Structure 1
């Protein structure tokens, strides 16, 4: 769906550097990139910091001296992630968001990754995104994303069902490792069950009337950088960004209140917190669209119902994603266990959510 993303005129082109960085022995490759991007830096003085939070890619930071302000982030794409991440679209998303001052500067792409600007601030934890001061900043920033016009006259359509179908086709039928395969066959819903649920989701959610907007689609706490001094938040990592339903992006974020490493769905925001969050979001969204800031209780309630329905689709999507990662990823993470958790929460939430009706 990359053809829907229209990069604004005058947006600087992103150079491609013919370097491949070894994910296990990355210093030599990283220094080749730094030689191009920061020619004044002495290779012997370049320090490298490894970030260990990501479960799609590997991320390292290169800097000199004790100051990290001019750090260059080098993201090495995870093994086989090109199967489910459109890298060309990711770069276009970066450029669009950068043009609207919503993203850091992208410096270059290389054969198996990209380099971009380090944002000053703190990567948040799940406990932080419940803080009223911070969640209001997040809601407003997401409203800003969703109001960006990047479709050059096209009527944007969501690629959620297309992408979900692609992920479903990539899910392995079995795993080589016997212990892994046993968990897969006993604790993950059958292929037939997953197919039925996917069709039910598309049939039920497509008719809810959620607008299609430019979405981040992966707004977990670590992808939110809070700069306390500036009093703002910025989002990072746009590899899953695309045109999608507004309510999916918000529902996906609410699911991330539970965390990733030690998932706890008792932390999913309750109705009261959601209504506060959604009101702040809608006020900012309407203001960005030039529609004033008056928001009725009815508008908040409609969005509340949509968001909780689309939170189901988010569980299902990341469940499929985790099964693909379990097959290909070299990152040390229990992807099968994560898939089991996401599908279990999907089936737990489904009756509660389907009982919700729009006013």
Structure 2
């Protein structure tokens, strides 16, 4: 599927440095990276700040002086994440988005990570993304992503089902820790049930005619940076970016209204909010797709169709991250209850399923 991500000619070449950073003793090799990227910085003056928001990788900000003006972010990939993240695809997505001024600068890659520009601004929380000004900015920025042509003449296809099948095959059915294994057996659906649900999702969602577009695929609150001064939002972290169903990307974002550390699915956006959000999105999407022509009107029917598609694809998002969390529970060294998170996602999947399958398309 990485073949579909075509980096535009003239995009800056990203250097690859043959070093490996130890996540537990990162400073020595991080300084080697900084020497290559900021040769005028004195190693003794380089300060390092660890960011703790992410639950996939380790992120360190390197800078000199008192203010965070020029910060080089060093991201060290999480343990075994290469099993479920296509790192070549991530770099291609990063370069495509950078070429369209949707991403920070990517400075270099190294054996187990990459270095990139720090974006000034505020990483959002669930309470921010309901703000009318901010949600319209988010809808517009997502539309801009979705309108990018990055397939060099190929007809893009979603790799969602292939990726979910891979995740399903990697998901553990047993943990050596007895307590953890008991939680798995008692709280997570068994492999037969998950296999049946995965087939049901593919058969039912593939028929919804949602366009396949270039998606972020992981638009949780902390991956949205709000720059108040210019009135912009930017999305960060492109590990899961790639071609996918338009409705999946939006439904996945709506699921993230519930937050990450204290998940509360009562915060999932209600219908009236969604319709406002989706109209703002469709207006921007048509504008970006039809540049140079008069912007088409968005009909009520178009908004209603997208509403049904999005809420059904929100099911696939729960299922995807449920499988992902099971894999992380097996391999990740990050202090986070991944198994508990998998339970939350699968529980919400089964709770939502009858509600969203009962939704009807407009006549």
TM bin (shorter chain): over 0.9
How many pairs were matched up?
359
Mapped to 1, the partners of 2:6 and 2:340 lie a distance apart of 38
Per the TM alignment, residue 302 of structure 1 is displaced from its structure 2 partner at its CA by 0.1
Mapped to 2, the partners of 1:111 and 1:6 lie a distance apart of 23
Question: What is the Cα-based RMSD across aligned positions, in Å?
Answer: 0.6
1:284 maps to 2:287: no
Q: Normalised by the size of structure 2, how large is the TM-score?
A: 0.98
The equivalent of 2:56 in structure 1 is: 56
Q: Normalised by the size of structure 1, how large is the TM-score?
A: 0.99
Mapped to 1, the partners of 2:24 and 2:126 lie a distance apart of 29
* Contact 1:284–1:293 (CA under 8 A) maintained in structure 2: no
SS of match in other structure, 1:263: coil
The equivalent of 2:270 in structure 1 is: 270
The equivalent of 2:319 in structure 1 is: 316
Deviations 1:205-260 (CA, angstroms, capped at 9, x unpaired): 00000000000000000000000001000000000001000000000000000001
SS of match in other structure, 1:129: coil
Mapped to 2, the partners of 1:30 and 1:15 lie a distance apart of 15
Mapped to 2, the partners of 1:66 and 1:145 lie a distance apart of 35
Which aligned segments of 4 or more residues in structure 1 are displaced greater than 6 angstroms?
none
The equivalent of 1:218 in structure 2 is: 218
The equivalent of 1:357 in structure 2 is: 360
SS of match in other structure, 2:133: helix
SS of match in other structure, 1:311: helix
Per the TM alignment, residue 293 of structure 1 is displaced from its structure 2 partner at its CA by 3.9
Q: Is there any run of 5+ residues in structure 1 with no aligned partner, and where?
A: none
1:10 maps to 2:10: yes
Mapped to 1, the partners of 2:56 and 2:176 lie a distance apart of 21
Per the TM alignment, residue 262 of structure 1 is displaced from its structure 2 partner at its CA by 0.3
The equivalent of 1:339 in structure 2 is: 342
Mapped to 2, the partners of 1:7 and 1:67 lie a distance apart of 34
The equivalent of 1:138 in structure 2 is: 138
Deviations 1:136-177 (CA, angstroms, capped at 9, x unpaired): 000000000000000000000000000000000001120011
5 Å-filtered alignment, 1:1-359, equals 1-290=1-290, 292-359=295-362
Q: Is there any run of 5+ residues in structure 2 with no aligned partner, and where?
A: none
Mapped to 2, the partners of 1:230 and 1:49 lie a distance apart of 26
Deviations 1:16-44 (CA, angstroms, capped at 9, x unpaired): 01111110111111111001000000011
